[in-house]
Amino acid sequence: MTTKSIKDCTVADAYLEILANRGIEYLFANAGTDFAPLIEALAKAQALGTPHPKPITCPHENTAQHMAIGYYLATGRPQVTMMHVNVGTANGMNGLLNASRGNIPMLYTAGRTPTNEHTLPGHRDNVIHWTQEMFDQNGMTREAAKWDYELRNAEQVETIIDRIMSVMMSDPMGPAYLSLPREVLAIPIKEFTYSSPGHIQPTKPSLPNPNDLDEAAQILAKAKNPVIITNWGGRNPGVMPALVDLAERYAMPVVEFSNRYVAMPQHHPMYAGGNPNPFVKAADAILVIDCAVPWLPALVSHSDDCKVIHMAPDPMYSMFPVRGFRCDIALACGTDLGLLALAKAMEEPAKSANAVTDKRRATLTANHDVLEENWAKKLEAVKDQTPIHPAWISHCLGQISDADTIFAVESKLQVQYLASEKPGKFLNAGASSGLGHGMGVALGAKLADRDRLVVGTHGDGSYMFNVPVSAHYVAAEQELPILTVIFNNQRWQAVRGATLRMQPDGYASKANQMPLSHFNVEQHYEKLVEVSGGVGEQVTDPAQMLPALERAHKAVMVDKRQALVNVVSSDPN
């Protein structure tokens, strides 16, 4: 076992060096008084050129958390965030909840206010060191973090970092929380020795149980009306090619319900749209892949003899307290590996069903053609509308983007109007629907590849949840020229819609203006980006949509300045 050592250091020095050694490139941070030993260690590492994660100053915790998430989604490499004690942890909870429900490995850390009043190095020297102490700071994170701990001493630094990395990266993946008391970070060490490389590897994604796989293959191969439903499948880049192959070979329709990623190219003949209800009703077999909620039980149910197969890293979705979807077979596996194995296992039993499969393929292709026609008709009908329709915004975004463009989605972006053949192109990190994720994700994706066009699309409400001044600041400081597009319908349509769904004829439906759903001040968001040296414009005329995006594209890709397009828009229907 090879080792490295550091002489005359502190726990903070050792901690940073091991993080870097284990592949952590960035520390997305919002600092406080608890950081003193860590800031000293960063300055020392910078001065001496020793390995350390690069610190990125994030004026708000939401930016830091979602930058780490975005960077992971773009690269597959987890990063570290660090916040100020309990208050910073509280501000970062939105990101932790999104990471938790989205199975994102992210090491979320925070200082712990000093507990010694005047003894150990790092002891209290500020009034807040009394008021910020909690009985159980970590407790705040415990429902969302996959693992949490408070660092106790120098001797365990390496063990704890390796423990975190391997637990986070094992399926089902998820975030970890580590609190770092100031006195522990400040502990002096004569000589610190650690193994390099580390020697604890995570569990790799697995294949499904072979007997259950065969049974699932039999059911699906013999089914007359099978359907595949997913919503998170596309977060694993290996899923798209495997899913396309499976759907094509056995003529199975793929529905992406309320999807946050794209698992199936939208123009593929086996892509069957986003509404699972008619398929669920007619199905004799349903394959649910990486999908916590495949349909809404209040709206639709399948027949009693329909078989339901769930395939995911954790097909029990054990993080949800209540989830009662029928499950005849649960296939725990890496979703891409599971799909490849299933396609193989279906070869033999599907042989006797060739005629049925061919007939189904023809029907599904014809149905998909209708979907395409409807999309085209819709676009034609709305392209001149004022306020500007989301379909037209999406189409124009399709014109300025290319196969490598990444979209951070926090809006009514309509993916069918953009190219969707490349995995990992659409990232929606709001697995817990904690709004305010898109700008951080866009920044993280841009940090991962500065040559790529990265577009953040946000509702006006979502944009404000991003603490945009913080995100625009990081874009400027780190030279990350992202393009921000706001679908500005001057309201929280989601809140309005939910109220009307529950009480279609209630007082709210008849009110001149529904309470708590509208923004009554015309907001010139395009000015906000100027604060950080970016360029912005408002668009109200649909004829100006594409020219405005072209100007913004030039700003970000040629002039290397962040840009914002504030589109006064309507709601899709």
Ligand X SMILES: Cc1ncc(C[n+]2csc(CCOP(=O)(O)OP(=O)(O)O)c2C)c(N)n1
CB of residue 517 to ligand X, shortest distance in Å: 9
Interface region with Mg ion, contact rule CB under 5 A, candidates 277-285, 373-381, 452-460, 523-531: 452-460
Residue partners of 48: CB distance under 8 A and separation at least 6: none
Q: Give CA–CA dist 418/403, Å, rounded.
A: 9
Sheet holding 226-230, edge to edge: 254-256, 226-230, 285-289, 307-312, 329-332
β-strand pairing of 226-230 with 26-29? unpaired
CB of residue 493 to ligand X, shortest distance in Å: 4
Residue 87's CB is within 10 A of a number of other CB atoms, namely 17
Between residues 201 and 433, which has the closer beta carbon with respect to ligand X?
Answer: 433
Site string for ligand X, 74-113 (x = CB under 6 A): --------------------x-------------------
**98, β-bridge pairs:** none
To the nearest 10 degrees (0 to 180), the angle between helices 36-48 and 11-21 is: 60
Site string for ligand X, 169-188 (x = CB under 6 A): --------------------
461 is an interface residue for Mg ion by CB under 5 A: yes
Q: What's 529's DSSP letter?
A: G
Closest-approach residue to ligand X (CB) = 459
Using CB under 5 A as the binding rule, the residues of this chain from 483 to 502 that contact Mg ion are 489
CB of residue 64 to ligand X, shortest distance in Å: 16
Closest-approach residue to Mg ion (CB) = 459
Q: Give CA–CA dist 395/464, Å, rounded.
A: 24
Among 84, 302, 412, 553, binds ligand X (CB under 6 A): 412
438 is an interface residue for Mg ion by CB under 5 A: no
Between residues 111 and 434, which has the closer beta carbon with respect to ligand X?
Answer: 434
Interface region with Mg ion, contact rule CB under 5 A, candidates 149-157, 191-199, 289-297, 481-489: 481-489
- The alpha-helical segments, DSSP class H, found in 347-409 are 347-350, 354-382, 390-400
CB of residue 468 to ligand X, shortest distance in Å: 12
If we measure between CA atoms, which residue out of 75, 105, 88 comes closest to residue 35?
A: 88
Q: Which does 335 bind (CB under 5 to 8 A by kind): Mg ion, ligand X, none?
A: none
Q: List phi, psi (to 5°) of 478.
A: -90, 5
If we measure between CA atoms, which residue out of 550, 555, 552, 548 comes closest to residue 569?
A: 548
Using CB under 6 A as the binding rule, the residues of this chain from 429 to 448 that contact ligand X are 433-436
Using CB under 5 A as the binding rule, the residues of this chain from 159 to 218 that contact Mg ion are none
| 49 Rama class: left (phi>0) / alpha (psi -120 to 50) / beta | left
Check: CB of residue 19 under 8 Å from CB of residue 80.
Answer: yes
Q: Which does 517 bind (CB under 5 to 8 A by kind): Mg ion, ligand X, none?
A: none
Interface region with Mg ion, contact rule CB under 5 A, candidates 42-50, 426-434, 451-459, 507-515: 451-459
**3, β-bridge pairs:** 195
| Residue 243, CA distances (Å) to 177, 268, 283 in order | 34, 11, 19
460 is an interface residue for Mg ion by CB under 5 A: yes
Between residues 403 and 516, which has the closer beta carbon with respect to ligand X?
Answer: 516
User: Dihedral sign, CA of 316, 317, 321, 322?
Assistant: negative
Using CB under 6 A as the binding rule, the residues of this chain from 139 to 158 that contact ligand X are none
Q: Which does 94 bind (CB under 5 to 8 A by kind): Mg ion, ligand X, none?
A: ligand X
CA 199 to chain centre: 29
Between residues 11 and 567, which has the closer beta carbon with respect to ligand X?
Answer: 567
Q: Give CA–CA dist 275/278, Å, rounded.
A: 7
Between residues 269 and 390, which has the closer beta carbon with respect to Mg ion?
Answer: 390
Q: Which does 433 bind (CB under 5 to 8 A by kind): ligand X, Mg ion, none?
A: ligand X
Helix (H, G, I), strand (E, B) or coil at 424: coil
Between residues 113 and 570, which has the closer beta carbon with respect to ligand X?
Answer: 570
With tokens 């408070």, the residue in question is 150
CB of residue 401 to Mg ion, shortest distance in Å: 22
Site string for ligand X, 467-506 (x = CB under 6 A): ----------------------x-xxxxx-----------
Positions that interact with ligand X (CB under 6 A): 94, 412, 433-436, 459-462, 465, 489, 491-495
